[in-house]
Amino acid sequence: MKIVGVIPSRYASTRFPGKGLSDICGKPMLWWVYRSLKNAKGIDEAYVATDDQRIIDACNKYGIPSVMTSDSCPTHLERLYEFSEKIAADFYINVNGDEPLIESSAIEALIPSSNIDSKSDYFANGMMILRDPIDAFDSSKIKIATDMNGYGLYMARSPIPYPKARSNFDLKKFVGVQCFSKSALDFVNKTPRGYLESIEDIDEFRFIENGFKIKFIMTEATTLSVDTPKDLEKVRAIMAKRLESEKTVGGGQM
């Protein structure tokens, strides 16, 4: 079973253009994501999928394999599909390019077990307990409601569920690590955006609205996605502390 990791990175991000190349402790953001992906056990190959030569050039500089895709992909799902047409695999592990703090262990949690049929329409997504109360009201942090078996019922940019009957529960938050079979990505290519996807602007509704199940897998991730320059400043401070801790215990670079 071949498992390929891919980091989709669009230069012309609406909220934060070129953020994948933003400097974090001397390396571009994409380098930190790639380091965690490459070090994850079970990943056979790892790439960046982009639409911009500036990102390709940065990948070449740091020895990161990259694949050029169309600049007309409306979402990361279409970019992943294009990538899957160029690089063959049984499963594709997507790690969002704005997750520089993601741990390899959180990626490994999405590696499919041997009993998952690679020919099926398999799609799994990471999630974590929302730890910062402010994130509950941050529209860039996607909240999740699942059924008793961990399959997605709804995703929202507002807090869900609403605490009418009780308040002692954990909110669950989307983590930008996903696993797709090739068949699931083929479905993306032939299926237009749906009603809810167009309202919430959450790509994963493409599957839920069409009756597909998304398996949400709890991870112990402590990541912070970079959606704004303010997030970037927080990540830089956290990464600096991590590097200092690595030096203390004898750790180092990739």
All domains of the chain in start order, with CATH = 3-121+175-249 (3.90.550.10)
Looking at every residue in the chain, the average pLDDT score rounds to: 93
Q: Is the pLDDT at 140 greater than 80, yes or no? A: yes
Tens digit of pLDDT for each residue in 60-92? 999 999 999 999 999 999 999 999 999 999 999
| Structure confidence at residue 227 (pLDDT) | 84
Q: Is the pLDDT at 15 greater than 80, yes or no? A: no
Q: Is the pLDDT at 43 greater than 90, yes or no? A: yes
| Structure confidence at residue 228 (pLDDT) | 86
| Structure confidence at residue 250 (pLDDT) | 64
| Structure confidence at residue 223 (pLDDT) | 81
Weakest mean pLDDT among 9-18, 78-87, 182-191, 216-225: 9-18
| Average pLDDT value for residue range 104-121 | 94
| Average pLDDT value for residue range 14-27 | 89
- Backbone φ and ψ for 88, nearest 5 degrees, come out as -80, 140
| Average pLDDT value for residue range 236-250 | 87
Tens digit of pLDDT for each residue in 175-185? 999 999 999 99
Using a pLDDT cut of 90, give the percent of the chain over it.
Answer: 83
CB atoms within 10 A of CB 239: 18
Q: Is the pLDDT at 13 greater than 80, yes or no? A: no
Three-state helix/strand/coil letters over the chain:
CCEEEEEEECCCCCCCCCHHHCEECCEEHHHHHHHHHHHCCCCCEEEEEECCHHHHHHHHHCCCCEEECCCCCCCHHHHHHHHHHHCCCCEEEEECCCCCCCCHHHHHCCCCCCCCCCCCCCEEEEEEECCCHHHHHCCCCCEEEECCCCEEEEEECCCCCCCCCCCCCCCEEEEEEEEEEHHHHHHHHHCCCCHHHHHHCCCCHHHHCCCCCCEEEECCCCCCCCCCHHHHHHHHHHHHHHHHHHHHHCCCCC
Weakest mean pLDDT among 12-16, 59-63, 97-101, 200-204: 12-16
